[in-house]
Amino acid sequence: MRKVYLDHSATTPVHSEVVKTINYYLTEAWGNPSSIHSVGRRAKKGLEEAREKVAAVIGAKPEEITFTSGGTESDNMAIIGGAYARQKKGNHLITTQVEHHAVLDSFKNLEKNGFEVTYLPVDEEGLISVDEFRESIKDSTILVSMMHVNNEIGTIQPIEEVGAITKEKGILFHVDAVQSYGKIPVDVNKLNVDMLTASSHKIYGPKGSGCLYIRKGVRIPSFTHGGAQEKKRRPGTENMPGIVGFGKAAEIVGQELESEMKRLTALRDKLTKGIEENISDIRINGHRTKRLPGNVNISFRYIEGESLLLSLDMKGVAASSGSACTSGSLDPSHVLLAIGLSHEIAHGSLRMTLGRDNTEEDIDYVLKVLPEIVTRLRSMSPLYQRKEACQQKECYEHVQ
C-alpha cells in the first residue's frame, strides 16, 4: 500500500543528511564544547557552525541565537522572560486567540501573576486586524507575541506591519515562527521582531531542539541557572545531537526554500481544487492565498474528524484533525472556533500538511481515496440522512 505522510506541521521525518551529521557528533566529535582539548574543540566548532546556519535562515547574527529544547521552551522564555524584563514599564501584553498552547498558556501564567492580556480575535480566514491591534495598545503595553503562520489553518499574519508599529512604540515583539521558519521567507530585520521562536523537528531535524532569536541589546532573565553556556541565558552542557541536527536541517531547508515553496504551493492547490471538485458540503479553513505553501485544512460536513483520520490511516494516509474527538480535551480546536466554525463543522475538519517527500502521485492517491471515505462515513451519519430528507422535502427536522 502507498504511504502518504501529510502531517508535516505535527512533525517531519529526519533528513538523512541530518542523521549523518548527528552521527558524526555522537561518535567522532562527542566532546564537551566547553573543554579545551581537541575532542572538545571539535564539538565547539560544530556548535558554532550550527548557530551560524540557524541564524542565516532568518538574517540574524549567530550571537543572537540561543539554543533551547524546542518551540515550547523558546515561547515560554520569550514571553515570560520578556514580560518580567519590562514589568517596571507596565503590565499590559497583547497576543491573539489563535496562538499555540505554548504561547497561550504562557500568557495565562502571566495573568495569574498580575499581568493583563489582550487576546486579539481573528476574522473568518484567521487574520488579525492591524487597526484593531493598533487600538489595543495602551501606555502600559510592554510586549506583543504573535505567530507568523498558524499551525492549524496555515494563515500568515501581517507580521511586518505589526513589527513596524511595535518598533515605533518601543514595545517588545516576539514572533512564534515555528511553522514559518525554513518554509517561507523570514527576515528578523524586515519583520522588525525582537525575539523569534523556531523548532528543529518541523524542518526535518531532531525533536526536542529549537532556538530563540534574541535581538542584540534585548535582555530577558534566565529560567535556569548554572554554567556559562549560551551566554548564561540557558546554562547546561549543550544538547549537541539536537543542535547540530537543527543546524544541518536549517542549512538544507534554507537552500531549498524557494523551490519547495513553489512546488508545495502547486501541490496544495491541486489537492484543494481536487477536493472542491469532487466532494460536496465542504468548507476551506484559513486564507486562500496568505497561506503556508503546504497547508490544506478542510471541513467535511456531517462527518467527524477522528473517523476520517482512522479511515485515511487504513489507506496509508497520515493526517490530523481539529475535531473534539481527537483533542483529548473533548473541545474542538480553539483556532477553528476563533474563525467562527460551529462545533459541528469543526468536528469534520481535516488538516493535511505537505512536505519535501510528497509528490504529485501522492496527491492523486489522496484524491482517489478521500472521496470514497467521505461517502462511506456520510452514509453512516444521521446528519447526512437528515440533509437528504430535507432536499427531498420530506423533512420534519432541520439540520442546524
Partner 1 sequence: MYSEKVMDHFTNPRNVGELEKPSGVGEVGNTTCGDIMRMYIVVKDDVITDVKFKTFGCGAAIATSSMVTELVKGKTVEEALKITNKAVAEALDGLPPAKMHCSNLAADALHKAIEDYQAKQAS
Catalytic site residues?
Answer: 325
How many residues bind ligand FES, per CB under 6 A?
2
CB of 340 to partner 1, least distance (A): 16
| Residue at grid coordinates 523548532 | 199
Per CB under 8 A, does 237 bind partner 1? no
- Give dist(CA 300, CA 306) in Å, integer: 12
Residue 174 CA, distance from chain mean position: 14
CB of 333 to ligand FES, least distance (A): 14
* Stretch of residues binding partner 1 (CB under 8 A), selected from 59-67, 265-273, 275-283, 341-349: 341-349
- Nearest in space to 293 (alpha carbons), one of 155, 186, 161, 199: 155
299 makes contact, choosing from partner 1, ligand FES, ligand PLP, none, with CB < 5 to 8 Å by partner type, with: none
Footprint of ligand FES on residues 103-162 (CB under 6 A)? none
* Cβ neighbours for 372, distance < 8 A, ≥ 6 positions apart: none
97 makes contact, choosing from ligand PLP, ligand FES, partner 1, none, with CB < 5 to 8 Å by partner type, with: none
CB of 399 to partner 1, least distance (A): 11
Are 210 and 199 in contact by the 8 Å Cβ rule? The answer is yes
| Residue at grid coordinates 515570560 | 80
- Give dist(CA 111, CA 9) in Å, integer: 29
Footprint of ligand FES on residues 317-356 (CB under 6 A)? 324-325
Q: Which residues of 304-332 are buried (b: 16+ CB within 10 A; e: fewer)?
A: bbebbbebbeebebebbbbbbebbeeeeb
Binding string, 16-55, against ligand PLP, x = CB under 6 A? ----------------------------------------
- Give dist(CA 305, CA 349) in Å, integer: 6
CB of 301 to ligand FES, least distance (A): 16
Per CB under 8 A, does 347 bind partner 1? yes
* Stretch of residues binding ligand PLP (CB under 6 A), selected from 176-184, 237-245, 259-267, 339-347: 176-184
CB of 328 to partner 1, least distance (A): 6
- Nearest in space to 400 (alpha carbons), one of 347, 351, 332, 361: 347
Per CB under 6 A, does 56 bind ligand FES? no
Footprint of ligand PLP on residues 207-236 (CB under 6 A)? 210
Distances (CA, A) of 46 to 214, 227, 255: 21, 19, 19
Half-sphere exposure of 84 (CA within 13 A, CB side): 13
Q: What residues line the site for ligand PLP (CB under 6 A)?
A: 70-72, 75, 100, 102, 147, 151, 176, 178-179, 199, 201, 210
Where on the chain is the footprint of ligand FES (CB under 6 A)? 324-325
